[in-house]
Amino acid sequence: MANLTISAVCNQHCPYCFTGDHLGGSGSNRRFLEPGDLDARLDFLDRSGMDQARFLGGEPTLHPHFSELVERARARNKKIVIFTNGLMPQESLACLEALPATECQVLVNVNEPAEAGEATFERQRATIRRLGERALLGFNVYRADFRPGFLLSLIADSGCKGASAGPGTALPLRGQCLRPPPSIRGDRRKDRALCSRRGRGQCEGRVRLRFRALHVL
Ligand code: SF4
């Protein structure tokens, strides 16, 4: 699996952001991947036998040529996987809506409504509704006192695939082990046991958290 960073720009400021230091193009004047530069990356995916083009950022849908990037990847028969906060331009949303659900998965990273703000959360809800079964919710656990109940109503209300929750990072957690922040890090031996039960015992105390009750697949 390879993720392609196509944007160093984001319209959110999540406290757990794994890429915060690099947002805004700092360290480089390049805020967005040049469309022509995608081809070399797609060549790499082809050589590696990968059938997915996985776009992330920053916020990938803010790329001014987002639709073109998707088209280039689709021309190589890649399934499209997008990691987004759901606050996307209409053109990007229309581009994703036009793809069959079997060829497109959009992991929409949401925060608790009280933290996101009502207007932001409603924009995200509207996007998730339009994406329907293309959408999978992502929720990052970066405090011990989070309240994930809103995800259930969001899943029921939007027709999305379900939700995946995990320790504070914007990355998707399927098949991955990530180190939780100190505030929720548990006993190292228990973490190892959890990982071992999943057959991933070499990860030195890292733990993956998923809340199966939230999955409506
Ligand atoms: S976690 Fe994602 S949505 Fe939040 S600030 Fe970072 S890149 Fe943006």
Could you tell me the pLDDT band of residue 175, with boundaries at 50, 70 and 90? very low
pLDDT of 129-155, one tens digit each? 999 999 999 998 888 788 888 998 899
DSSP state string for 161-191 = --EEEEES-SS--TT--BPPPGGG---HHHH
Whose CA is closest to atom 4 on ligand 1?
A: 14
- Range 3-209: architecture per CATH: Alpha-Beta Barrel (3.20)
Between the CA of 43 and the centroid of ligand 1 the distance, in Å, is 27
- Give pTM, 2 decimals: 0.77
Query: Alpha carbon 76 to chain centroid distance?
Result: 22
Decide whether any atom of ligand 1 lies within 6 Å of the 167 Cβ: no
